[in-house]
Structure 1
């Protein structure tokens, strides 16, 4: 119906802001943009009248309901995505970045100085009350005198104990029974120092409760003194631990007495000036006199301290550098490296320490000293623990594992291999100690949040990877050690009569051990690379492609390997065998998977690839053979010559060294050859491998002896004299004999 469509159009026009189910906000917005004009009052009245007419008629009402349901079930239109151009970031040069960072920190430093100037000039003025100041100062000084008196008294009482502890520790150290006594005495003296400090603070708290006159100002000043006293004396206890000026026996380092007293006195005075100046004097002046005067006093005190510290540092720079180098010369190699590095830069580190303390005290007077002292103590503790651990690891490096003689005979390389793994593990642990020390030092100075890094993100992942790599290397080392030791046990003999393995077995086991080392190393490297995040799939694919390319270009190498493997399994030759390969005869000295090394008797060493060997002769295979032929003059008697040969063989067999080389009995073949001038006699021997030449040489000597004794002559060489040819021009005279020929003919 047309009037229904008109009604729907008029009805939807004023309701564009409403949300109909199934219609998105984007569609509503677009509709509102297209029909922004609101219908008039007459149009609204016509629409309402049409709606009333529709609702009165049942058919029209049903048609209206169907159309509304159809609209409700229509899916919403997809919103059109908005194309936003990418944000263009401005590319900055390195100089611009440096300028920006320096400007940021320079502005922050300038704001700090501006705040310091406002504190000095613009703080509220407080009236000075001399009577209150004098009363508080008297109670403060009384408590300070009593605390210092008690502290000096108890320290004097324990001085004899310190001397006895030092002498006992030095005596035990000279006897070299155990190196722990002297460090134990040094640490014990430091602990006693701390206990005395705790006792003194306890007495100071009791005195403070009685000497504050129920005045909060006096109690506050006395609390400042006790806090400063605890902090400063704790630092002095550390100085006494290092220098120990009054008891040289408890001094842990080789420092001269004069040098120890010099530095202990000046560093103690410097720490007292810093502590009592910043923690006591400046707060009291700010509270009792004026805030501006307190701020100025803080600047003056820290300026004097910094100038004095820098003077001491550069005045003693060369002397301390020389002492550090001397200490490095008497230290272990590992510690010598760090001490020499410290000798080069110690003055810059010390200067930076006091300069940083100066600026911190200007900007944050209340917390600067606490932070610096806390960081210093933490640094000393970290360095001490790291030095102790590194020293223990270095001492263990000098020690070796010694196995029993029986185990060394059964596993010849096991002790060397275990000591090698232990040395590598200890060196790795020492490197990890150094890395952890550096990160803890940075954490102590708030330059790096070590604990957050360790528990979250990259630190946790790094530690997890290191643990996995350590486990992988450990199991690889254990597996290689076990397998290699089993192979070496098979290669060795024992005292219970087990013979050495054959040369073939030794060669095969050696080749198998080398192949096993390559396989284990390759697998370990691949797994470690995978653990640290390297994608090994391209490596494996590249290795496969490279292997395919190499296989086409190295067919001879593959042939060498295959031929060598078959020769080894057929037990063709072994190390130490005498072989003939082609024109070469020599002893096999080395056999690899690709070639064999042969040494001739002239000393020449030949490397022969397996693939070039078609045939070879091995002289070390079960037995050796001697076939001895002797020529005798044809006119000699055969029986006499045979008897002489038998006598020579009989006498030879009576020699024990020769008889042990002959297997069985010699065999006489008798006359085996006859010529116009001689006949040949033969005797044969079966000998041990490679002993045929020894038997042959001894037999020749004995035959010569018996042939000479029996008068058996060797064959005689005869010559036939032929006349020279006659010349036709000058016939020879019948009276003169013919001349001899120019050369005799045999």
Structure 2
């Protein structure tokens, strides 16, 4: 015996012993507790003491005057309504039930006794299944192989024809399957779904074609015209059902191509898994649907039971051998998949190879049993998941042992029920894992919109990627919970159907569905409104929004978000069953209290509302608010956000705003105050300024901003060293500063060309004078360049240079 099998057999035997109790019939548990009429554990000796208790209480009542009067009144009422005898019997029965209620220790003993009796009964049933009249395999002794062979001789031709047609059509379809798989590897999700449905439909057509051809040959060549024999009908029906089940298996594992594979397996692992599952399905399907009915019809029902049990035992032994042989490979595969999911979730980067099962080296190593590093993957994974991964085969062996007990000790109908239940659990787990895997890929890749939609709605994709992952996580938890609850319902620990049919189940499920729908509808409405606002604010699509539209749409977004939050919360609470009337009243009182306590906030909001009504400012306007000048970047009903020329961001509450100065209304002026020297001609300066304006109008960048001729105001003021003349240019609002800078540059150049002095501050040196009018003399000496310089006090000549030449 192989060493691994020898190590596993003792533990397997102990586990099978425990399974005998799990497979006990349900009626055994109903006999665990004795009937209420049985004597309690105290026995007969406790009867006088039990009877003395009520008599003592009655004597105490009779001694008390008040209690005695109350007892007499109660007895008169009972006698009038139900009769004295009936009332006393009811009281006596209630007292007897209280006295006969077993203690906790007695209840534990009774439960233990019931479990032991159930185990003994189950063990006896298993022993009788192998010996005596109840031996399931005893019917094999009456199996007449020559009769069975003669029965199958009439099916050989039909079997050969249907199998040959099926294999031929499969061979013709193999290149088509491979091409579809190659296209699926490069296709998007929707196209992959269509390719998957198409390949599965082709496989179904092949099976139906082979089945139909077998029926046609049976009708036309083998039997009476337009008649089908019982044996041929059994085989053809078994062929159709079994091969359709195999089609479903091939659709999941897709051994021919990895592009259409639902489970993440390598090609070799998919081929082996498909082969092993086909063996199990073929043995059970053709055995139960073809062999067993033929044996029942031509030999005996006992022989049919024996053949059915033998086939089931063969399948169980085959599966046990597979589990023991491939336990390490499967554990490595599970561990690698769990570690790969962890790495992908931590990095949040899509893995190109993860989408191609055939190219995954980790999965190929798991399929062959070879490690990809120094330690197997099942030993690298720690925690509870690592423990469950390394011991998965014990759960599988437990289930197979349970099914062995069921096959040996139960009837065929019960075995079929267990097999159907196991299939349901397996299908639910498979569908749940596929959905969870698809959700995981969606979480990693996110929502990607078409380029045209991203251009029109640039903020829609980030919003979807902020909402959709949370919904997918909730959906993943919901799917996991649904699979677990469905499994518990199938094995009998829960009755979901009865719970959903009960009033509380209907109410709870209805409320949960209503709340989920309310949240989904609210999220969709919020996305739609925000997307429409983004579309209207996008200058690249349609007409560019005005500053007023930008402001109002921004305020609408904020107000709508608050309103949607409030209404969604109200509807959700109402669906849960809470009365929102008191909540609204409390909210009103709370709002009033907040209004009195936060008057500044209320003032901010009221002032902001009136500012918006009066259209005092909009987003993008240059305003002066609260002594700060800047561009309005954000407006709410409570405050305004400004960015000044130095880049400083200011948030100013409306309660501190006494005046709003807006530089962006209808038109603007650039006012030019030009200073000229006192000796310059004002008319000459005026002409120079008009010439500069005419030159400004020839500038293609500035002439579009001029909406009027330059206005001449004349001499505006007399300064300390300059005569100030003023002119004004009417411009498009917001362009006066740039246009003024361009005009100043042209004006400076023209003044320089015409010699018009732009004065600057002069400094006068004053030496002072005495009372008689004398002052200090400043001696000057001419230097070689014609200028004069002061003479030094030491007699030297200041600024004197050596003679040249």
**Normalising by structure 1, what TM-score?**
0.65
Change (3 A) 1:572 1:106: farther
The Cα offsets for residues 442-493 of structure 1, whole Å up to 9 and x where unpaired, read as 5554554444444444544455335544654565456556655665666567
Task: Say whether the 8 Å CA contact 1:632–1:715 is kept in structure 2.
Answer: no
Distance 1:172 1:274 in 2: 30
The answer to which structure, 1 or 2, has the higher relative contact order (CA under 8 A, 6+ apart) is 2
Distance 1:124 1:651 in 2: 118
What secondary structure, in the 3-state scheme, does the structure 2 residue paired with 1:665 have? coil
Residues 1:689 and 2:733 are matched in the alignment: yes
Distance 1:522 1:29 in 2: 59
What secondary structure, in the 3-state scheme, does the structure 2 residue paired with 1:620 have? coil
Q: Show the counterpart of 2:34.
A: none
Distance 1:400 1:591 in 2: 32
Q: Show the counterpart of 2:275.
A: 264
Give the deviation of 1:557 after TM superposition: 1.6
Q: Show the counterpart of 2:175.
A: 167
What secondary structure, in the 3-state scheme, does the structure 2 residue paired with 1:664 have? coil
Change (3 A) 1:331 1:346: farther
Q: Show the counterpart of 1:11.
A: none
Distance 2:216 2:490 in 1: 29
Residues 1:616 and 2:660 are matched in the alignment: yes
Give the deviation of 1:558 after TM superposition: 1.7
Distance 2:301 2:513 in 1: 61
Task: Say whether the 8 Å CA contact 2:715–2:726 is kept in structure 1.
Answer: yes
Change (3 A) 1:316 1:518: same
Distance 1:88 1:31 in 2: 23
Give the deviation of 1:372 after TM superposition: 3.3
5+ residue gaps, structure 1, are: 1-22, 33-77, 208-221, 727-731, 741-746
- 1:358 is aligned, of 397, 404, 412, to 404
> Equivalent residues in 2 for 1:13-162 (5 A)?
26=79, 104-117=114-127, 136=144, 138-144=146-152, 147=155, 151-152=159-160, 154-162=162-170
Distance 2:202 2:112 in 1: 51
Change (3 A) 1:603 1:230: same
> Equivalent residues in 2 for 1:618-637 (5 A)?
618-637=662-681
Bigger mean CA offset, 663-672 vs 133-142: 133-142
Distance 1:97 1:552 in 2: 65
Task: Say whether the 8 Å CA contact 2:214–2:236 is kept in structure 1.
Answer: no
Task: Say whether the 8 Å CA contact 1:298–1:361 is kept in structure 2.
Answer: no
Q: Show the counterpart of 2:32.
A: none
Give the deviation of 1:543 after TM superposition: 3.7
Task: Say whether the 8 Å CA contact 1:723–1:738 is kept in structure 2.
Answer: no
Give the deviation of 1:354 after TM superposition: 0.8
The Cα offsets for residues 85-115 of structure 1, whole Å up to 9 and x where unpaired, read as 997999999x999998776545422332234
Give the deviation of 1:412 after TM superposition: 7.7
- 1:551 is aligned, of 595, 598, 607, to 595
Distance 1:403 1:259 in 2: 38
Give the deviation of 1:567 after TM superposition: 1.3
> Equivalent residues in 2 for 1:119-518 (5 A)?
136=144, 138-144=146-152, 147=155, 151-152=159-160, 154-174=162-182, 179=195, 180-191=197-208, 238=245, 242=249, 249=256, 253=261, 256=267, 260=271, 264=275, 268=279, 272=283, 309-323=319-333, 347-379=393-425, 439-465=485-511, 467-469=513-515, 472-473=518-519, 476=522, 480=526, 491=537, 500-501=545-546, 503-518=547-562
Give the deviation of 1:302 after TM superposition: 7.7
Give the deviation of 1:595 after TM superposition: 1.5
Give the deviation of 1:385 after TM superposition: 7.0
Distance 1:388 1:562 in 2: 55
Distance 1:265 1:412 in 2: 52
Distance 1:326 1:190 in 2: 36
- 2:650 is aligned, of 595, 599, 606, to 606
Task: Say whether the 8 Å CA contact 2:630–2:643 is kept in structure 1.
Answer: yes
Residues 1:581 and 2:625 are matched in the alignment: yes
Q: Show the counterpart of 1:520.
A: 564
Give the deviation of 1:611 after TM superposition: 1.0
The Cα offsets for residues 371-415 of structure 1, whole Å up to 9 and x where unpaired, read as 33333444566667778989999999999786988x986x88789
Give the deviation of 1:608 after TM superposition: 1.3
Distance 2:158 2:398 in 1: 37
Change (3 A) 1:696 1:27: closer
Distance 2:723 2:173 in 1: 105
Q: Show the counterpart of 2:615.
A: 571
Change (3 A) 1:89 1:256: farther
Distance 1:399 1:676 in 2: 70
5+ residue gaps, structure 2, are: 1-75, 185-190, 225-229, 341-352, 361-365, 367-377, 379-384, 780-789, 791-805
What secondary structure, in the 3-state scheme, does the structure 2 residue paired with 1:507 have? helix
What secondary structure, in the 3-state scheme, does the structure 1 residue paired with 2:707 have? strand
Distance 1:347 1:123 in 2: 35
The Cα offsets for residues 308-365 of structure 1, whole Å up to 9 and x where unpaired, read as 53342032022234456788977779xx9xx999977753553233111122123315
The Cα offsets for residues 121-141 of structure 1, whole Å up to 9 and x where unpaired, read as 77599xx99xx9779554234
Bigger mean CA offset, 265-274 vs 688-697: 265-274
The Cα offsets for residues 31-53 of structure 1, whole Å up to 9 and x where unpaired, read as 99xxxxxxxxxxxxxxxxxxxxx
Q: Show the counterpart of 1:13.
A: none
What secondary structure, in the 3-state scheme, does the structure 2 residue paired with 1:617 have? strand
Give the deviation of 1:694 after TM superposition: 2.9
Change (3 A) 1:87 1:706: farther
**Normalising by structure 2, what TM-score?**
0.61
Q: Show the counterpart of 1:743.
A: none
Bigger mean CA offset, 588-597 vs 137-146: 137-146
Distance 1:316 1:31 in 2: 77
- 1:721 is aligned, of 747, 766, 783, to 766
Change (3 A) 1:96 1:647: farther
Aligned residues: 631
Give the deviation of 1:618 after TM superposition: 1.9
What secondary structure, in the 3-state scheme, does the structure 2 residue paired with 1:580 have? strand
Distance 1:91 1:632 in 2: 118
**Root-mean-square deviation (Å):** 6.1
Bigger mean CA offset, 596-605 vs 540-549: 540-549
Distance 2:535 2:145 in 1: 86
Give the deviation of 1:602 after TM superposition: 1.4
Task: Say whether the 8 Å CA contact 1:586–1:599 is kept in structure 2.
Answer: yes
Change (3 A) 1:527 1:256: same
Q: Show the counterpart of 1:591.
A: 635
The Cα offsets for residues 526-572 of structure 1, whole Å up to 9 and x where unpaired, read as 22232233454564455445434433432222221111111121111
Change (3 A) 1:101 1:686: farther
- The structure with more radius of gyration: 1
